Amino acid sequence: MFETITAEKSLLFLENDRLVNEFKALASKLPQYHTVPQLGLISPDDVWITAFNIWLLFQPDEYLILESAEKTLYYSSNFIILNELKNDHYFKFIKTHPDIADELLFITALYLAQALNQWLEEALIAESREDIIIRNRRLSYFEAHTNSEEDVRKFVEDQAAIVKIIMPIITKENTLECLIKNSYDEASAHFYKKNIVVEN
């Protein structure tokens, strides 16, 4: 669950726990979305951390949220996806829209994290790389870089294989743009249907 999120597990550099606590407060406020993360390429707990990373990208530019230089060495597929997201025009529209509530950004990040988790699982299955899925589900994914030297070596090899599989899809099919749009549309439908009261 979202309680496992820490600044140390994020792929983005955070000076303190302020944004971690803000994200957890939103998650606590919206328990009806706690079942969104499901098993895919990674575990539901790790989907929460993915959602947190995406939510961080939605934060205003003045927060100066940067990539963790150390982790770029290990999580190559994640950084490719995060960079594609933040450069996508629809993602930028959501981020900069003046009337989008914090709760809606949170829900969008959660739906997008799960959509990416399922998409990656499907992409690997299509290439008969279920072995990577099995290994990633067994890991505490965002702590994989702290494992033994042999485990880290295998993880980096798996990351390279994932990159090789997803790059042709990302560059040719506008897949991420569709995932972003569909996740935002689904989040909006739920957000407005539930009549969540946004506190000022």
How does DSSP assign 73-90, residue by residue?
GT-HHHHHHHHHHHH-HH
CA distances to 5, 26, 178 from 43, in Å: 13, 21, 23
Whether 46 and 126 have beta carbons less than 8 Å apart is answered as no
The C-alpha R_g of the chain, in whole angstroms, comes to 16
Question: What's the gap between Cα 79 and its chain centre?
Answer: 10
pTM over 0.85: yes
CA distances to 65, 85, 94, 136, 171 from 16, in Å: 11, 24, 25, 28, 35
Q: Can you give the pLDDT at residue 194?
A: 63
Q: Can you give the pLDDT at residue 99?
A: 87
- Measure the CA–CA gap between 79 and 47, rounded to whole angstroms: 15
Q: Please give the structure tokens belonging to residue 171.
A: 């560059």
**Mean pLDDT for back-to-back runs of 10 residues, the chain (200 residues):** 92 92 97 95 97 96 85 96 95 92 96 98 98 96 97 98 96 90 95 59
